[in-house]
């Protein structure tokens, strides 16, 4: 079945630094990928929709300049948390979809970000 690979699975960084998270569709092409954020014991909240070759669409309340999304190819989207702060510590999950309206979403394994 379709596989979405997310890297790294966990990362620790210092305040003020930037962190890049990669999301790859391994055996299918994804024109659209989605980035979610999940706080402990809470649900997944959509941050942005990543569109190949164009700008990402951000959900209300998500800072575009803080969470940079790049979707330069049909198999790769990246999320960069810029100037990270402790409140950015969270679990970030990407998902992607095969072509076709009936295709299910496939999720990456997530990235646990800890900002010290």
Q: Which residues bind other proteins (CB under 8 A)?
A: 31-32, 34, 38, 42-46, 49, 51, 91, 93, 95, 97, 99-102, 104-105, 107, 109-110
Q: What is the largest CA-CA distance in the chain?
A: 42
| Shortest spacing between CB 22 and other proteins, in angstroms | 17
To the nearest 10°, report the CA torsion of 59, 36, 51, 7.
150
Q: Which is nearer to other proteins, 72 or 99 (CB)?
A: 99
| Shortest spacing between CB 49 and other proteins, in angstroms | 6
Q: How far is 115 from 100, CA to CA, in rounded Å?
A: 38
């Amino acid at each position: 079945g379709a596989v979405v690979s997310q890297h790294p699975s966990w990362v620790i960084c210092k305040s003020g630094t930037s962190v890049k998270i990669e999301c790859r569709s391994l055996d299918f092409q994804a024109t659209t990928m989605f980035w979610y954020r999940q706080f402990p014991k809470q649900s997944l909240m959509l941050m942005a929709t990543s569109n190949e070759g164009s700008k990402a669409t951000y959900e209300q309340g998500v800072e575009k300049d803080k969470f940079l999304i790049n979707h330069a190819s049909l198999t790769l989207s990246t999320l960069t948390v810029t100037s990270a702060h402790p409140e950015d510590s969270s679990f970030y999950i990407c998902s992607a979809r095969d072509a076709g309206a009936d295709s299910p979403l496939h999720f990456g394994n997530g990235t646990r970000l800890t900002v010290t």
